[in-house]
Amino acid sequence: MRIFVTGGAGYVGSHCVKDLCENGHEVVVFDNLSLGHREAVHPRATLIQGDLANTDQLGKALASQRFDAVMHFAASAEVGESVRDPLKYYRNNVANTLNLLEAMNRAGIRKMVFSSSCATYGVPPEGQAIVETLPQSPINPYGRTKLANEWMLRDSATGWGLGSCALRYFNACGAAADGSIGEDHDPESHIIPAVLQAALGIRPNISIFGTDYPTPDGTCIRDYIHVEDLASAHRLAIEAIQPGVAMAFNVGTGNGFSVRAVIDAARRVTGRNIPVVEGPRRPGDPPMLVADPRKIKEELGWQPRWTDIDRIVESAWRWHSTHPNGFNDDPSKPTAVVTGEAGSPAGITS
């Protein structure tokens, strides 16, 4: 297939592009590079530097070739920022997705895989693994924008025959097994790279927010899904989409690891002391968020390969220990062919 990937220079997007290219698909990445990295884009992909807010630019990009499908990753993705600046999130996540869907309709493209989130569920019943039939009641603007996009996909299935699949991620983590690409955010808010930055001395310590949760060690439990397993889920989803059908799946391992377990794994993998500072709970943090992934396993035949926390952390350490400054450490890496012009600062890469 020839696939148009928005936000394909970002963390999850670039790993999905790598997986697609290495499995015989043709890929064009559309990214404004405001948070993404051109060095992260697979050399066999074409990179168009552009912005979803620029509808003329987007339309020309989609009309430049005959695309079979779209993967949509471009979004703003920080929960705390979404509370402070909700309109930014509705603009980047909802309005820009509307632009993309309208452009797809005009171009006759009827397949989309959408990067959604378990944040659409809000706070699940305590101690319960999350299934797709649970009510979607997001508690922050980020989750609400992801849910609004899922509504657009469902309505577009009926309205103009769009076939779609919303993949609701849990905690994306890890790096490419070959060490070629990994996570590079500024600032970094994800726990595994933050812990590894503490191991490298880039940050003085790692903070634990809340040690009195009703969990075995008192810290929050999360489902950590390796980015290469996310990539295979996207590939299987895009191959399974049917016109006029809106699908949705949780993408997680079904295993939960506590904050302390992640820190302990990083200590084992790196062999370094990692200072910890304990603090109070953050508002809105549920004690446990773990997926029930049976639906995607049964319907798409997907199986996660990365289920051991030490292996997950080890893959991330392979990247961070050789790229402590992210992609700035590897200026000679071959990059994708770049076409197009720079866009405005909206449509940020996830």
Domains assigned to the chain = 2-339 (3.40.50.720)
Distance of CA 115 to the CA centre of its chain: 6
pLDDT above 60 (res 154): yes
> Measured between alpha carbons, how far is 65 from 107 in angstroms, rounded to an integer?
10
Average pLDDT, integer, range 151-159: 98
Q: Give residue 350's pLDDT.
A: 34
Q: Give residue 330's pLDDT.
A: 55
Q: Give residue 328's pLDDT.
A: 84
> Measured between alpha carbons, how far is 17 from 27 in angstroms, rounded to an integer?
7
Is residue 27 left, alpha or beta, with left meaning phi > 0 and alpha meaning psi from -120 to 50? beta
Q: Give residue 66's pLDDT.
A: 96
pLDDT above 90 (res 335): no
Among 202-206, 297-301, 324-328, the least confident range:
324-328
Choosing from 142, 169, 213, 224, which is the catalytic residue? Answer: 142
pTM for the structure as a whole: 0.92
- Please, what's the b/e burial string for 266-282 (b: 16 or more CB within 10 A of its CB; e: otherwise)? beebbeeebeeeeeeee
Active site (annotated) includes residue 121: no
Distance of CA 307 to the CA centre of its chain: 18
pLDDT above 50 (res 339): no
Among 79-83, 222-226, 227-231, 249-253, the least confident range:
79-83
